Chains A and B, each alone.
Chain A
């Protein structure tokens, strides 16, 4: 029924002032809602990327149970892993690590942590820890220090050590013997996660291996970076099939907290959008009621000459949908522009979150659009546009 669409579209511009006001309100509301969601997305993405970059990488492989026990006897054969991963084209970078619980001691104090043995060349491709070492805080295994250890600034403060300070690191080898090895502080890293900083130290793979009493091919942890984060599930499935005796974990399984944040983030964003658009729907309903009631005589005439109630209802719904589609499109377009501008430099929320940076996220948020949210907004706006016409339609068809 072309004529119904024609009438509905022209009716929008019948009362230019009121339609402009309604379109403006919905545009601003859609922009505000989508930009807030983009900010929350940006924040969540920032948190996830921080954890992925610094701690989890995209995927990790361990022997079953190792990730909870850190039992050094739970090692894997590097050759088997290498052979398997070489056949998976989605895998970009791999880092083979040793991992053990250790006690680091100075003359004054000591602290328990997880000691990770890494190959520098491999590790810098899967982790950005090296980037967190600021100038003057040493380097990531780049200096001439013999047997360097990279600890966090927080641990350094706790142990009261400086660059090149001696640290005794104690740990058990595979036969249960306690090994005490002298390391020197080679650098201080710093992430936004207090617990990770307090509990982690890095040494070179080759400096740790001789003391663990393990075969040369032994590795405890394999960290992977894929060419696309979205491929995690597929690659995990492939590796699990090829290495059924090992445990493959996605970034958000390595740190279950991330799974929780991710779930809450999605739920909170969705609830926010639903509540926001219900509130918007109420004000839109008022506009539609005014617009429809003042044309009651006209609708009556249309019905008299043979336009059925369902056609009149369709016309009112289409009219509302046209209005809200125009406004939704404008609001989302504004949001895309605002996000593309602000995502370059980020928005600094230091004034709000400075004290929070120790809990795992930076204070600069880079807004990010998730196409799923745009779909939610579009679907919600469409559903609400139809719902808000029910009352005016009932009134007019009575």
Chain B
């Protein structure tokens, strides 16, 4: 699969000997160890592995949230770790959508304002923004909660809004770190349905970490990490 992806002209993310080490006392922990992978446009990929295997670190490296110890991350051919901090923030704003495990939404903004947040930072005009918010609210089935504050929503609803926010501005890809970790089965299923629907409908690339079997079963590609190394990379045809 890696070979296939690398040869594909629609590759949007590519890592080259990507490594990240943390020093813990006197010992060095390799959270990412010489990782080479490519992600193509439209993929719905899960990074799986036990706790501490380096899933979150890999996502953070790809998202430009962590600086690698060595190696490179190319997004659409650009080595993002050569950017300055300011350029990197701007790059993330315009190219990457994020869904986190916790603390996704801005508590003082309503659901619709949260969804439109990234677009507003990008300077998208109001009319265009409102149309996109309405469209996404309908897709995630939360039109009736448009004016609600996040504190009044369930965990599943919050995560769906986070997904809607992440892809509202149509980024190159979305990084989701354990998006279903705190959700019950029904909420997790609904979130996955939403993500898959958006993946198909909007052709948005998803790369997410999980150790949730429910999520793994729905992924089209599974990258397995152990001790910071890729041990398996499998693709499933739906």
The answer on a CB contact under 8 Å between A298 and B103 is yes
Residues of chain B within 8 A (CB-CB) of A309 are 85-86, 89
> Is there an interface contact between A3 and B65, defined as CB atoms closer than 8 Å?
no
Interface pair A304/B92, CB less than 8 Å apart: yes
Q: Does A259 contact B (CB under 8 A)?
A: no
B116 closest partner in A (C-beta): A3
Contact assessment for B100 and A301 in the assembled complex, using a CB-CB cutoff below 8 Å? yes
Q: How distant is the Cα of A1 from the Cα of B65 in the complex, in angstroms?
A: 24
Query: Please, which residues of chain B bring their CB within 8 A of the CB of A6?
Result: 108-109, 113
Let me know if A306 and B108 touch, CB within 8 A: no
Question: Which residues does chain A contribute within 8 Å of B182, judged by CB atoms?
Answer: none
List the B side residues contacting A16 at CB < 8 Å.
Answer: none
Indicate whether B63 reaches chain A with its CB closer than 8 angstroms.
yes
Given A7-B109, A297-B103, A301-B104: A307 touches B98 (CB 8 Å cut-off): no
| Residue in chain B with minimal CB distance to A300 | B103
B76 within 8 Å of A by Cβ? no
A382 to chain B, nearest CB (A): 23
User: Which residues on the A side are within 8 Å of B94 (C-beta)?
Assistant: 306
A2 to B125, CA, bound (A): 12
State whether A14 touches B107 (Cβ < 8 A).
yes
Give the distance to chain A from B45, nearest Cβ to Cβ, in Å.
Answer: 20
CB atoms of B121 and A303 under 8 A apart: no
- Per a CB cutoff under 8 Å, which of A2, A3, A14, A308 touches B89? A308
> 8 Å CB contacts to B: which residues of A136-182?
none
Q: Which of B63, B98, B103, B106 contacts A7 (CB 8 A)?
A: B106
**Is A311 at the interface (CB under 8 A from chain B)?**
yes
A305 within 8 A of B: yes
Main DSSP-derived SS at the A contact region: helix
Contact B108 A14, beta carbon cutoff 8 Å:
yes
CB distance from B109 to the nearest CB of A (A): 7
* C-alpha spacing A188/B108, complex, angstroms: 73
| A132 is an interface residue with CB less than 8 A from chain B | no
Judged by a CB distance under 8 angstroms, whether A302 is at the interface is yes
| Contact present for A306 and B121 (CB under 8 Å) | yes
Which residue of chain A lies nearest to B85 when distances are taken between CB atoms in the complex?
A309
Which B residues lie within 8 Å of A18 (CB)? none
A2 partner residues in chain B, CB cutoff 8 A: 120
- Is B18 positioned at the interface, with any CB of A under 8 Å from its CB? no
**At the interface, yes or no: B117 with Cβ under 8 Å from chain A?**
yes
A3-B120, A3-B121, A311-B121 are contacts. A302–B107 as well, Cβ < 8 Å? no
Q: Is the CB of B108 within 8 A of A305?
A: no
B217 to chain A, nearest CB (A): 28
Q: From residue 100 to 114 of chain A, which have CB atoms closer than 8 A to chain B?
A: none
B-facing mask of A1-34, CB < 8 A → 1, else 0? 1110011001100100000000000000000000
User: 8 Å CB contacts to B: which residues of A288-328?
Assistant: 297-298, 301-309, 311
B90 touches A308 (CB 8 A): yes
Task: Tell me which residues from 107 to 132 in chain B have a Cβ below 8 Å from any Cβ of chain A.
Answer: 107-109, 113, 117-118, 120-122
The answer for the CA separation of A14 and B108 in the assembled complex, in Å, is 7
A302 to B85, CA, bound (A): 14
Q: In the assembled complex, which residues on chain B have CB atoms less than 8 Å from the CB atom of A10?
A: 108-109
Q: Could you give, for residues 157-175 of chain B, a 1 whenever the CB lies within 8 Å of some chain A CB and a 0 otherwise?
A: 0000000011000000000
- A3 with B117, Cβ < 8 A, contacts A11-B108, A304-B63, A304-B65 known: yes
Distance A6 CA – B65 CA, assembled complex (angstroms) = 27
Other-chain residue from B89, B97, B120 in contact with A303 (beta carbon distance below 8 A): B89
Given A7-B106, A11-B108, CB of A305 within 8 Å of CB of B92: yes
Whether a CB of chain A sits under 8 angstroms from the CB of B183 is no
Knowing A6-B109, A14-B108, the reply to whether A305 touches B118 (Cβ < 8 A) is yes
Chain B residues whose CB sits within 8 angstroms of the CB of A307 once the complex forms? 89, 93, 121
B residues within 8 A CB of A1? 120-121
**B residues 60-92 in Cβ contact with A at 8 Å:** 63, 65, 85-86, 89-90, 92
Q: Point out the residues of chain A lying under 8 angstroms from B104, CB to CB.
A: 301
Complexed CA–CA distance, A297 and B108 (Å): 15
Q: How far is the CA of A309 from the CA of B84 in the complex (A)?
A: 13
User: Are A306 and B103 in contact, CB atoms less than 8 angstroms apart?
Assistant: no
16 pairs of residues in contact across A and B, judged by CB atoms under 8 Å = A1-B121, A3-B113, A3-B117, A3-B120, A7-B109, A11-B108, A298-B103, A298-B106, A302-B106, A304-B65, A304-B92, A305-B93, A305-B98, A305-B166, A308-B90, A309-B86
Interface residues of A (CB under 8 A from B): 1-3, 6-7, 10-11, 14, 297-298, 301-309, 311
Q: Can you add 20 more A-B contacts, CB < 8 Å, to A1-B120, A3-B120, A306-B94?
A: A2-B120, A3-B109, A3-B113, A3-B117, A7-B106, A10-B108, A11-B108, A14-B108, A304-B65, A304-B98, A305-B93, A305-B117, A305-B165, A305-B166, A306-B92, A306-B96, A306-B121, A307-B121, A308-B86, A308-B93
